């Protein structure tokens, strides 16, 4: 296998910004950076941004920089692919392939809506990419005659979650709404991916609490005591590709997940 091309920091930022639908002006405003400096840096002039500003910018785009570069495992990442009717599909999916090192060892599946509309069938698709600390929702908007192409052939080093014919999983109406409205926690993402459905609703819990005299403060205290000290595990596997941050050639590894997780 040919060695993976080493990405420069400005190339990585441009790829992620494209998947997040962020333009330069918005990135500069959120990152508190001069637009002119950011544009120059994105064009390859390393001296226009300090290394710490680059690291802060990466954090805004969903990366953690702590001895390596990886996706922030505390959030669900939403990436967008636009494969228009008269556009080139290869170019539309190229950013996913370029960022495959962040997703090595992950499992991939499409999600089937509970009640697919005509638009769901023809114009859009949603995929989950899951691994050790990696949670990515890929939203594909496409022409009606095109097929969504997210899979191991696009995400190098990934694998299908399972071996069914269409590589899809179902989900509930409530979880589907969370998914498409971008209102999804990491726990809820994992529930969808692992096809875990709750047997008790919050309405049920509310009725039980009233019956037994349990207050909201009691529940909050229990949650704090049980889960407040939970610590995040880190992903420490190194790989052979890197990111050039400039400023004396400082190099950080681009780290993926090498522990492929497949559902039983």
> pLDDT category, 233, cuts 50, 70, 90?
very low
Cβ–Cβ under 8 Å, residues 238 and 255: yes
Q: Is the pLDDT of residue 188 over 50?
A: yes
Looking at per-residue confidence, does 221 or 81 come out higher?
A: 81
> In this structure, are 154 and 215 located in the same domain?
no
pLDDT at 101 over 70: yes
**Number of continuous H segments (helices) and E segments (strands) in the chain:** 10, 11
Query: By C-alpha distance, which of 255, 257, 248, 256 is closest to 54?
Result: 248
* Residue 157 near residue 104, CB atoms below 8 Å: yes
Are 189 and 76 contacting, i.e. CB atoms less than 8 angstroms apart? Answer: yes
Length of the chain: 264
- Measured over the CA atoms of residue 155, residue 14, residue 68 and residue 138, the dihedral's sign is negative
CATH number of the domain that residue 23 is part of: 1.10.260
Element (H, E) at 190: helix 186-193
Please report whether residue 152 resides in a domain. Answer: yes
Cβ atoms of 125 and 148 closer than 8 Å: yes
Which DSSP helix (H) or strand (E) runs through 170?
Answer: strand 168-170
Phi-psi region of 67 (alpha: psi -120 to 50; beta: other; left: phi over 0): left
226 shares its domain with 242: no
Residue 4 is predicted with a pLDDT of 56
Residue 263 lies in a domain: no
Give me the phi and psi of 234, to 5 degrees please: -105, 155
For residue 99, pLDDT beyond 70: yes
Residue 264 lies in a domain: no
Residue 128's nearest CA partner among 178, 168, 187 is 168
**pLDDT tens, 22-78?**
999 999 999 999 999 999 999 988 778 888 899 999 999 999 988 789 999 999 999
Query: How many other CB atoms are found less than 10 A from the CB of residue 198?
Result: 12
What's 124's domain CATH number?
3.40.1530
Asked if residue 130 and residue 244 are part of one domain, the reply reads no
Least confident stretch, 22-26, 31-35, 196-200, 207-211: 196-200
* Full residue range of the structural domain in which residue 215 is found: 202-231
CA dihedral of residues 188, 158, 241, 57 (deg, nearest 10): -30
Instruction: Identify the weakest region by mean pLDDT among 122-126, 195-199, 250-254.
Output: 250-254
**262 occurs within a structural domain:** no
What's the structural domain count of the chain?
Answer: 3
102 found inside a domain: yes
Distance CA 250, CA 257 (A): 23
Task: Say if CB 237 and CB 260 are below 8 A apart.
Answer: no
My answer on whether 67 and 79 are in the same domain is no
Same domain, 154 and 222: no
Shared domain for 189 and 95, answered yes or no, is yes
pLDDT score, position 253: 53
Shared domain check, 118 and 60: no
């Amino acid at each position: 296998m040919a060695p993976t091309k080493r990405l420069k920091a400005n190339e990585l930022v441009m790829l992620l910004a494209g998947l997040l639908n962020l333009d330069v002006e918005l990135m500069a405003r959120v990152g508190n950076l001069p637009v002119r400096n950011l544009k120059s840096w994105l064009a390859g002039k390393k001296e226009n941004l300090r290394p710490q500003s680059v690291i802060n910018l990466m954090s805004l785009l969903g990366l953690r920089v702590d001895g390596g570069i990886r996706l922030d495992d505390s959030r669900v990442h939403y990436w967008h692919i636009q494969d228009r009717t008269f556009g080139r599909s290869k170019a539309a999916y190229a950013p996913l392939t370029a960022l495959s090192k962040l997703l090595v060892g992950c499992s991939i599946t499409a999600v089937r809506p509970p009640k697919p509309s005509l638009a769901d069938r023809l114009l859009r698709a949603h995929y989950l990419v899951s691994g050790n600390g990696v949670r990515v929702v890929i939203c594909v908007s496409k022409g009606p005659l095109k097929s969504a192409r997210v899979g191991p052939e696009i995400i190098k080093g990934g694998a299908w979650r399972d071996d069914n014919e269409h590589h899809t999983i179902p989900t509930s109406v409530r979880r589907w709404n969370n998914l498409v409205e971008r209102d999804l926690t990491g726990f809820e993402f994992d529930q969808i991916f692992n096809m875990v459905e709750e047997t008790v609703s919050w309405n049920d819990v509310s009725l039980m609490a009233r019956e037994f005299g349990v207050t909201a403060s009691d529940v909050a205290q229990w949650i704090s005591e049980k889960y407040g000290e939970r610590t995040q595990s880190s992903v420490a596997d190194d790989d052979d590709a890197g990111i050039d941050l400039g400023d004396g050639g400082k190099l950080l590894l681009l780290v993926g997940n090498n522990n492929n997780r497949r559902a039983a």
